[in-house]
Copies of this chain bind each other. A is one copy, B any other.
């Protein structure tokens, strides 16, 4: 049952060149640039997000994901989940004081068995939906740019210990298994987990290495926006991975591309919804091509192997 985790609240990504990265996430993807902190990190968000930011870019020597944070419903829930994380064992739970991220309250950080760093927090400055607010709000702001990404939606992560991570997210954090890929021996090789109605708030793929980012994903309103995203990728000579196409898993309508540092991005629309009483959707591993790319029904090598 749901235990108070609401949604992905932020992801901190490492980029090689901040100026190029901001141009990519702001001008091409259409995220709203909100803030730069004293250490030079740039904070952005999708226009429909009420909290002040959901993406933090940090300039570094290698690309990848520093951490992904989930917002919980209140501080009391944060306390109880913190204790449950400690009780779970082996997670290296750390307390990050308020203010380490500008405008964000204290965070409880832990490293999942897949090697990825996650954190929980209950408090973040709210600036409201960009350009429309919550008093007689217009349908959308007129000054959006590029792909007009509406929100940070989820990350897909590659790592080794899926089973313990599954127990952690379902038993401690109250996520549900929305979709899975199972190999002939019955092992789960992909798990799509949700704390909401969304088909996934975070997903994991079985992989030999720990702590790899496959992609950070952002939501678009329509399949037509996926087309226009593809057009913008071409107009800006951005490196494309694949799409527009549909996924089998979640049935979302998608396109993949790379930021200038090599981090993979997805923008997508549509997709299935999930409630806690729904049985998980199961794909057989021998249908993996169709599960990932519903139209082509074959995987491309790049999609499987390029990680940051």
Residues of A whose CB lies within 8 Å of any CB of B are 1-2, 4, 6-7, 48, 50, 71, 73-74, 77, 126, 128, 134-140, 142, 196-198, 221-224, 227, 230-235, 240, 243-246, 248, 251, 253, 255, 270, 272-273, 275-284, 287, 290-291, 294-297
Contact A231 B244, beta carbon cutoff 8 Å: no
- Once A1-B4, A126-B279, A224-B223 are accepted as A-B contacts, the answer to whether A297 and B240 lie under 8 Å apart by CB is yes
B136:A6 contact, CB within 8 angstroms:
no
**Alpha-carbon separation in the docked complex, A253 to B139 (Å):** 11
Bound complex: CA of A224 vs CA of B240, how far in Å? 22
- With both chains docked as a complex, state the minimum distance between the C-beta of A302 and any C-beta of chain B, in angstroms: 12
Contact A235 to B48, CB < 8 A, known contacts A4-B1, A197-B196, A230-B246: no
Q: With a CB–CB cut-off of 8 A, which chain B residues contact A273?
A: 48
Task: Give the CA-CA distance A281 to B270 in the complex, in Å.
Answer: 24
Please, which residue of chain B has its CB at the minimum distance from the CB of A283? B136
- Indicate if the CB atoms of B140 and A231 lie closer than 8 Å: yes
CB atoms of A134 and B6 under 8 A apart: no
Assembly stoichiometry (copies): 4
Beta-carbon contact of B73 and A276 below 8 Å? yes
CA–CA, A266 to B200, complex, Å?
28
**A76, chain B: closest CB distance, angstroms:** 9
- Distance in Å from the Cβ of A109 to the closest Cβ of chain B? 20
What is the chain B residue whose CB lies nearest that of A27?
B142
Q: Given A48-B272, A224-B222, A245-B230, A136 and B287 touching (CB < 8 A)?
A: yes
A2 to B4 Cα, complex, angstroms: 8
* Interfacial chain B residues near A73, Cβ < 8 Å: 1-2, 276-277
Tell me whether A50 and B277 are in contact in the complex, defined as CB-CB below 8 angstroms, given that A136-B287, A139-B231, A287-B136 are known contacts: yes
Complex interface: chain B residues within 8 A of A246 (CB): 139, 227, 230-231
Minimum CB–CB distance from A6 to chain B (whole Å) comes to 5
Once the chains bind, are A234 and B126 in contact (CB under 8 Å)?
Answer: no
> For residue A72, which residue of chain B has the nearest CB?
B277
| Pairwise interchain contact A234-B197, C-beta atoms closer than 8 A | no
> A50: which B residues are within 8 A, CB to CB?
275, 277-279
Q: How far is the CA of A276 from the CA of B221 in the complex (A)?
A: 22
| Nearest 8 A/B pairs, CB to CB | A230-B295, A134-B281, A139-B231, A197-B197, A50-B278, A139-B251, A224-B224, A6-B275
